[in-house]
Every structure is written in structure tokens, then in C-alpha cells.
Amino acid sequence: MRETNFVGSCIRKGSSSDQDDEPSPPPKRRKTATTQSKQPKPKTSTTAPIAKPKNTKSKRKPNPKSKPLALLTPPSNPLPPSLPPSRHHPQTYHHPLLLTSPQSRSALLSWFTKVHSSRLMPWRKPFLSPLTTPRPLLAKRAYEVWISEIMLQQTRVATVISYWNRWMEKWPTMEDLASAKEDEVLSLWQGLGYYSRAKRVHEAAQVVVNEMGGLLPAEVGELVEKVPGVGRYTAGAIAAIVFGRAEAMVDGNVVRVLSRQLGVYGDAKGKEVVEGIWEVAGELARVVAGEEEEVSEVPGRWGQALMELGSTVCTPKPNCEDCSITATCRAYHEGLALAKGEEGGNVLGDIEDACGICHSWEEEEEDDEETKRQKTRSTGIQQTVSDYFAKLSRQEEDEDGAEVPDCRQMQIIVNHARKFPLRKPKKKVREEEIVVCAIRRRSDGKYLIHQRPEKGLLANMWELPSHTLPPTTGNSIAARQMESERYVTQLLTKTKAGSGDGKRKREMPTSVGVIRRGGEVANVPWVFSHLRLTMHVHGFVLKDQSVTQGSSDPRSKWASVDEINEVSMGTGMRHCWEHVRGLGYLGLESSSDESESRERSQTTRNRIPK
């Protein structure tokens, strides 16, 4: 579940975009005479059971100020595949064929029933009807799904499983989480990244407990508006999976699946494409839900089936041969037409109806490195063997009577489908180097640590004192050592009252007892979504028991090894600390200790690539 930043804050794992599920304003509704005549909607009680929703279709009114999207407008006649290089077609070409193919929708749900248990996800549980389930059980189920969806943003499923299990063991209910301390929440979240998610989850739990009686709302608009950190993806997932509502769930995997289903070769981050995919996903959810009861497990299963398909089959390099909905896939049929040697005709009737979503076809992608490797592998004896079996398979048909592509044709189909959606070049990640200074007081063995600002990257996390290296600093150990000593000097310099003139005297670091400069003990690379960081770890030991500089700031303190092991610390900084803790800076009282530590430090530098 979750990769590209296609839907902004609503996309789950895959890339490392440092964005959370930001709330978006609820859609505005136009007041009409009809709506004004209705009785005002009563406030939802925090103790009342979940009421059966009325016909949700009648509530979904289009915004009169917005132009209807052509993606949901079917063409007057069936359109043939629009082939490159021109790919001229009207917007109606992208009408989702899944809307008119109950066989394909049923095939996808049947496939999901067979495979959903193959990846053991502890948050996947049988559907509990909100009409009959006791409130405490429903609240716990909503809480479990919510936590899983937040954790899965920008994070792989395999990584999330162990975190989710530990989380539920420590805080099994919303009330338990609301009463926890923020430091505890950040500590357990350590390693998942994007720590603002943990802070918002903690804040949201307190809101839900104090204002909603511990049960998350069932309506998407209310979830987005009232629960911190919940955007329309997470809201849709909760509404569909927990409450059985016909709501869309669009993550990066669904973006990829629907882009190929619709044949949309457009900017995956463009507003028009984003809104178009959400509109189609919402209509599909309503059509699927309309085939069953108004409240059922079907909407949740449908949304999860699309995501599962995108994460296991319709991947960036798709396995089209195992896909259950190729019959409705525009990208698949375009690839099949190319494989058969068909030429691209103009399926556009009137130039005024031309699609304004798709970009010009990128011909240079035809000979990218992956395609070249595939062409190389298909030569020689391997090609001869595949040609032999291709002749046998050309006459085969599947259960529906459709011709089954041979090996060569399937490779062309895959190469064509993998171009969807359009991928823009990634921006270059900024690079930065810092010195991390492990400053230990020999008298009590404590280290100086700082707490980061309340906002920004790694907000409120603890760290060893760190300093960004100026661009003018040479890329050498000696230059970094000099810069780290200068930084520690400023950090630990004492100030004393002057002789009656109000001035203060600054003392040099020798006055604060620097007895050992341990040099550079490690180089720790760490990558954020927007920043490639290299942390150069330097060690210092102080002999003066009275040294307190750096701890006068309420966000700084001297802490023992055990205390540092327990504080909330970013994963990269935690690696730095592990190097410090394991390389002898716990005790350098004797010259023999210094010699041994120097040898270990040099060995570590030799092991770590620069």
C-alpha cells in the first residue's frame, strides 16, 4: 500500500516524499430551495449507535460552478486503441470501461479473495457491520484501520507490520493512545520516519476521545475536517473499510492502475489528472456498492483490491499476464495492437474534442536502458525457443474466447503499459554535511544532548549537538575537526561577570576542561526525501565537573547513557549515537584507554565508505 506523490498528502508508501496526510477543506455545497426546506441535521451523539446511512447517491450533487469531467462521459461509439506516436483521441476515450463491465469488476473481487491472505497484514480483519456491532468494538476496529493507514503512508507493508503490532500491544484502544505521553509515541514511532505523523496521530486521538467519544466519524467530510492529519485518502479508507461507505481510496498504487485502465498519459501530479482519477475512483466505488446493500464490506474490499493489484501485479513494471482486468485496460489493448503490428489511426472526430489531459508521446522512452536489456535478453537461442512456443500459443484462447498474446507480444504490451502514468524527472536532492559532536563529561559520564525545535524536520526529537558545515569547509578530516572544535568552543565557553563595568569575559575551551579530542569516529550517511545528509561524528571528553554550559537552555541537558537510549531520536542520529557508545567514549581516563580508542576509531573510519 502507497508510493508516488500523485495525490499529494493522500498517498502511501513507496517514495520518500516528506508529506503527511494533510487535511483538505470539505467540498462546498450550494444552498438551494430544496436543501433549505429540509430539517437541520442533528449533531451526532458520542454515545449513540451508528445509524444506517440514507441513500448516499442522492446526496452527491455536482458543483454547479465546475465543468463536468469528460472522463465519465462515454463515447458515442466504441473507440479503437489510440496508438503512438500521435495518440490523437477525444477525452471520452478515457471513459472507464470498468463502469460498464460487471464481469471485470467481479473478476477483480474474486482475485482479491484468493490472494488477500497471501500477505499477512494483521489489520486486515473480517468486516463488522456498523449497524449491529457494539460501539466499543466498532471504535477499536476504526482505530486499528486508522493507525495502519497512517503508518503505511510512504512506508512499505513489511516494515509497518512489526510497528503496528507493537503499537497495538502498547496502546490497544484510542483512549490508551490519548493518555500516552508524546515522547513515548515518538519513541515507538522511531524508524518509520516522517515523525510529524506520530505527533498528529497523538493529537488526533485526544480530539477523538475528548470530542467524539472515542469513535472516529463515518463521514469523509467530517473525518477530514475534524480529525488532525486525516486527508481524503485516509478518510476514504476508514469510511469504506470500517463503515462500509461507497468512498474512493486513491493511493499511488490506485493512481497507477487507473491511469493504465483509462489510458491517461498525463502529468500524475497535475491537478486535472488528480481530480479526474479521484472522480473515476469515486464513481467506481458507487457502482460497486450499488450492486450490494448500502452498507457492506464490498466498498472496502473493492478499494483494497485496487491497491493490492497495484502493489503486486500492476507495478511500475507490470505483470500483465496475471492481471484479472486486462479486458478493460486501455494501456493493455494499445500494447496488444502495437504487438500485432497495427498502425495508429486518428480516432479523433472533431479537433475541438481533443484530449487536453494526455501529453505528447515520449519517443525517446522507446530505447531506454530497461528496454535495451530486454531486447538483448531476447536474442540468440532464447529468441528461437520463444518463437517456437509463440507459434503454438498464437492459436490459444482464454476462457472468454479472447486471443492469448504470445511471449513476444506480451513483452511489447508490458513495455507499453509501464510508460503509464507519465513520470516527470525527479528534482535533484539537496546535499548537506554536518558535524555531530559527542561531548562527554568525565566526572559523571553524561553526554550533552539537544532537543530540536517544535516545528520542522524531526521536530522535538533529541540529538547530539550538531552543526552544519559551511560550503567553504574543505572536504577533509582535518578541516572538519577544526570546524567541530570551533563549534564546541562556542557551545561550552563560560561567561563570568566583569569587574563592575557590566561586561562579560569569555574563556577559552581549556578553561572548561577539554582533555581529549577524539577525532572523527564515524561518517553516517542518511537520506531524507528532500535532503541527502552526511553526518561526521566527532568525540570530545571534558574533565571539569562544574561544566554546565549548554544545559542552561531548557531544550538542552546532560544525560546518562541509559537516558539517551530511551529518548526520542531520529534513526540517523541514533546510528551516530551507537557509534559513539560502542567506540570507547564511555571512558578515556588513561593513556592506554586513549590509544585503544584511537585504534578502534581508525578501524571504524576505514570500514565506513566516504
**Contact of 540 with 506, CB cutoff 8 Å:** no
In angstroms, the CA 314 to CA 309 distance is: 6
User: Among 69, 403, 18, which Cα is nearest to 262's?
Assistant: 69
Which three-class secondary structure state does DSSP give residue 495?
Answer: strand
> Can you give the three-state secondary structure of 173-239, one letter per residue?
CHHHHHCCCHHHHHHHHCCCCCCHHHHHHHHHHHHHHHHHCCCCCCCHHHHHHHCCCCCHHHHHHHH
Find cell 496502546 and name the residue.
Answer: 171
441 strand-pairing partners: 446, 542
DSSP state at residue 569? B
DSSP state at residue 352? G
CB atoms within 10 A of CB 608: 15
In angstroms, the CA 400 to CA 68 distance is: 35
Q: How far is CA 272 from the centre of its chain?
A: 22
| 169 is annotated as an active-site residue | no
In angstroms, the CA 404 to CA 391 distance is: 12
Pairing of strands 514-527, 531-542: antiparallel
Which residue out of 149, 219, 463, 520 is catalytically annotated? 149
Dihedral (CA of 451, 454, 460, 463) sign: negative
Which three-class secondary structure state does DSSP give residue 138?
Answer: helix
In angstroms, the CA 483 to CA 474 distance is: 10
| CA dihedral of residues 242, 247, 251, 257 (deg, nearest 10) | 120
In angstroms, the CA 534 to CA 524 distance is: 6
In angstroms, the CA 455 to CA 477 distance is: 32
Tell me which residues are annotated as active site. Answer: 149
